[in-house]
């Protein structure tokens, strides 16, 4: 009984020691910023990677001048040729940098010039602003089709291995012998 209780306490201690959320995520490092004027509000837009590339995950932060208190807003992203990607989304706190608004590990789908449109409301009234001509370069690495083709090679090898193992086992069972 004593050994069981000691093992339980040791396991619980290890689980609690390794489950601390503060050490699970690295901080958001902003390497480039742009400033946008949305009516009476200034917004600093931060990027965790610069230059931006299509299909590359990064963090965006949106920091209104004077902080978030009493302010709400939405973000609309428009790709090349002003094609809207989704509907306006409310600006929410960044999951790892709680004192600002932001998007966590978001990627932009295509290369070209993007526009971020901000609609804010706060004590000084409503305001709208845009970050235009945000240059997004081509996707890094090989084309997506080639990446997928290469990544399926181990799966195909596994399927071939299972097929031959199944045929060999089936042949032994038909012959009356037991599989080794």
The predicted pLDDT at position 14 comes to: 76
Residues 133 and 54 in one domain: yes
Residues 131 and 165 in one domain: no
Contact 149, 155 (CB under 8 A): no
Q: Is residue 179 part of a domain?
A: no
Global confidence as pTM: 0.67
Residue 99 structural domain: 24-137
Residues 90-115 have a mean pLDDT of 88
The predicted pLDDT at position 20 comes to: 59
What's the alpha-carbon Rg for the chain, to the nearest Å?
A: 26
d(CA 114, CA 133): 6
Model confidence at 161: pLDDT above 90: yes
The predicted pLDDT at position 42 comes to: 93
Long-range CB pairs of 137-145 (<8 Å, 24+ gap) are 137/51, 137/52, 137/53, 137/54, 137/111, 138/53, 138/54, 138/111, 139/53, 139/54, 139/55, 139/56, 139/111, 140/53, 140/55, 140/56, 144/55
CATH number at residue 57: 2.60.40.1930
């Amino acid at each position: 009984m004593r050994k069981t209780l000691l093992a339980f306490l040791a396991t619980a201690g290890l689980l609690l020691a390794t489950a601390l959320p503060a050490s699970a995520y690295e901080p958001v490092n902003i390497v480039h910023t742009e400033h946008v004027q949305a009516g009476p509000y200034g917004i600093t837009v931060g990027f965790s990677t610069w230059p931006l590339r299509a299909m590359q995950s990064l963090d965006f932060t949106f920091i209104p001048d004077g902080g978030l208190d009493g302010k709400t807003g939405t973000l609309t992203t428009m790709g090349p040729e002003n094609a809207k990607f989704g509907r306006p989304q409310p600006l929410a706190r960044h999951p790892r940098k709680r004192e600002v608004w932001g998007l966590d590990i978001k990627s932009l789908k295509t290369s070209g010039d993007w526009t971020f449109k901000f609609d804010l409301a706060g004590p000084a009234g409503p305001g709208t602003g845009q970050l235009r001509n945000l240059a997004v370069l081509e996707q890094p690495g090989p084309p997506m089709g080639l990446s997928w083709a290469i990544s399926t090679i181990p799966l195909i090898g596994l399927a071939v291995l299972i097929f031959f193992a199944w045929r060999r086992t089936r042949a032994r069972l038909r012959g009356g012998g037991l599989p080794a």
